[in-house]
Amino acid sequence: MRQQHCRSGSDKETYIGRRRWLSALGVAGAATLAGCSDRGGDGGDGSDGGDGRGGGAGNGRSDGTDTPEVGDFPQFGVDDLYGAETARDLARQAFERSEYDYAFDGGDLVTPEGEQVTLDIYYRAERELSRLTAEFIARELGSNLGIDVVVEAIDGARFNNEYWTGDPEGGADTVNGEEIEWTNPTPQNPGPRSVTGDEPWDMSIVFGLNTHPLNPLMNELFFDGANPFYNPVGYYPQFDAQGLFQEARQATSRDDLRESFAEIFGNLAREQPYITLLFSDDLVGYNPDLEGPIENFSNGWDLPAWYEGEPTVSGSYDTVTSAGFRTLNPLYNTESHAGVAIGRALDRGYTFDESQEYFPLLYDMSTEDGEVWTFDVRENLRFSEPYGQVTAEDFVYLVEELHQSDWANTASSSDWDGVEVEQTGEFEFQATLESPNPLWPRTYDPLLYPIPRDLVEPYVEEEDASGLEQDEGLLELGFTGNLGAFELEAWNRGSGTEYVRNDEYYLRDIDEGPDLFSEGPLFEAASISVVEERESRLRALETGETDSAAIPPERYESYSDSDNVTVRRVPTPYNTILSVNQRSNGWNAGPGNLFRLVPFRQALAAAIGKRELIDGVYHGLAEPQFTWQPRWSEFSPADD
């Protein structure tokens, strides 16, 4: 049976109640209260061994003063929740909950055998910022917690394949007194904590996570109990995560979602399943004559209206990227940079404008109850010959015969689980969800590429996934007709893509959007060049050989003062986190695994100065992370 409630030693639910978050949402309600101080077990049953909330009787500091004040939205790593004293007091709470005798000896954190605790931290080898962040964390944990941290570089793909993921074995575990069965294990959550990747590891900053600010319901992938789809670190929530996510799934308005998620985010901030550090922006340098880029999460949504100099059709929009594309097949691509390359020549169903509001591209979506959604396909969409006009039938066939099949294994296969689709007109179809979701478009699940039925039908009849994945028409985007701003002219494996203007682009004939859509795109050509060496990319930007390139933080100020480059800070949903391995191959310093104890994860968070990290490594170009949403999200709870 999967987890239903978080139970304390007295069998009471210990998650934080809704009324305690109303004021943080700007809703009339009770004032913010202190955290529950009920204590849990000793960790021997697979639980986290106590809620670590502090402020309760019997949890005082060794000098007799009050414990660190951990509020409803604790801001670990700043002010009173930063520094050696606070971090060590929280660590001592963890020692009390551990069955092993960890302690401080002088300045060092020592094992039961009296040896200094030594842990490793892995960072992304090819990223200088990742190295600097890892080294900063190592110094902080050394100074404030007495841990000897060994900094290790690793290739991101290797870390993912050998350390981060495991063979899905399944199994069962006792979590907070409840028996949980891993019936559908995944490589990212292969089973209980005893099921691990091939290689042991302690800490990592190799990967951040998408916080899904447009629809936080997507975070159930990470935190919906101990057995969600994605849980490589083996985090077991001690609050009623499943109950709160179920409540959120039943919400019928944004206000209801905000209320539910304020509870979830507050508990995640308290339990620190990953040690949250910061949200950084993408720093992008542009040709100063380029009109269009904005400092907004939806930067680029209106690319067909961008232009250089004057709003007339001329020139070429050329960009650089650091990595090549493994595939341009829209059915199988999972890489964001390849998605950009596909997107130059093929639109998907919709996007979000600068106000984060839904904007229809290929189709509009509407609903009355959040359960049944109607898709209205534009009637001016055409594939390349011989495939003809795009109709609702193409989308319904795509969903039913490919995304919902048990053989094709497309990149969107999980997005359509449990969704019933039905064609209701030549240019209309409906999708019925298992339960209402008023923000379904914001999950990106219903975001479809248009694919001709006649192109894929032979593969469907043969159930030929390999043939479908390698089809030249899909790989070379030879079917895109008037469905993209540009036509793919060449994909040079390893070096990039080249495009020419699509003179038949459908977007010129719609009523919505900027006036310049009627002339778009305003470039005669476009290209994406793969340039692995960073200095070469920056040189191309400085000399005008490219119109856009990423800027490293340490160069932001110099480029901001340059007349040759316009720099934009573009918010992203991805965070920088310290992942701590709560599985059986984590905590290689000695017996037990202190990472499993909430107070110890809080101690780690308190030991790492967020503002010092942002100022010293990110040159001030980031925001500290206290909840699971960036501040620009409408679902970000107040943190003051």
pLDDT the model gives residue 638: 60
557 in a domain, yes or no?
Answer: no
The answer to whether the Cα torsion of 264, 231, 199, 323 is positive or negative is negative
- Residue 583 has φ and ψ, to the nearest 5°, of -80, 180
253 in a domain, yes or no?
Answer: yes
269 and 309 together in one domain:
no
Mean pLDDT of the chain: 88
389 in a domain, yes or no?
Answer: yes
pLDDT the model gives residue 484: 98
pLDDT the model gives residue 66: 60
Q: Compute the average pLDDT of residues 125-154.
A: 96
326 in a domain, yes or no?
Answer: yes
Question: Is the pLDDT assigned to residue 147 strictly greater than 70?
Answer: yes
pLDDT-derived band at 436 (thresholds 50, 70, 90) equals confident
17 in a domain, yes or no?
Answer: no
64 in a domain, yes or no?
Answer: no
Q: How many CB atoms sit inside 10 A of residue 23's CB?
A: 17
213 and 318 together in one domain:
no
- The amino acid present at 499, given as its one-letter code, is Y
pLDDT the model gives residue 126: 82
pLDDT the model gives residue 640: 45
Rounded distance between C-alpha atoms, residue 164 and residue 188, angstroms: 7
- Domain tally for the chain? 2
Is residue 305 within 8 Å of 517, Cβ to Cβ? yes
For the chain, count helices (H), then strands (E): 15, 25
Q: Which of 31-35, 483-487, 629-633 has the highest mean pLDDT?
A: 483-487
pLDDT-derived band at 70 (thresholds 50, 70, 90) equals confident
Q: Give the model confidence (pLDDT) of 501-539 as tens digits.
A: 999 999 999 999 999 999 999 999 999 999 999 999 999
386 and 420 together in one domain:
yes
336 in a domain, yes or no?
Answer: yes
Question: Residue 428 sits in a domain of what CATH number?
Answer: 3.40.190.10
Q: Which domain holds residue 264?
A: 76-280+573-624
Rounded distance between C-alpha atoms, residue 133 and residue 196, angstroms: 26
357 and 261 together in one domain:
no
496 and 597 together in one domain:
no
116 and 167 together in one domain:
yes
pLDDT-derived band at 258 (thresholds 50, 70, 90) equals confident
Q: Strands 171-175 and 148-154: what pairing?
A: unpaired
411 in a domain, yes or no?
Answer: yes
pLDDT-derived band at 257 (thresholds 50, 70, 90) equals confident
485 and 447 together in one domain:
yes
182 and 292 together in one domain:
no
Question: Residue 195 sits in a domain of what CATH number?
Answer: 3.10.105
403 and 300 together in one domain:
yes
386 and 275 together in one domain:
no
272 and 306 together in one domain:
no
3-state SS assignment for residue 154: strand
pLDDT the model gives residue 621: 93
Q: Give the model confidence (pLDDT) of 469-507 as tens digits.
A: 999 999 999 999 999 999 999 999 888 999 999 999 999
352 and 460 together in one domain:
yes
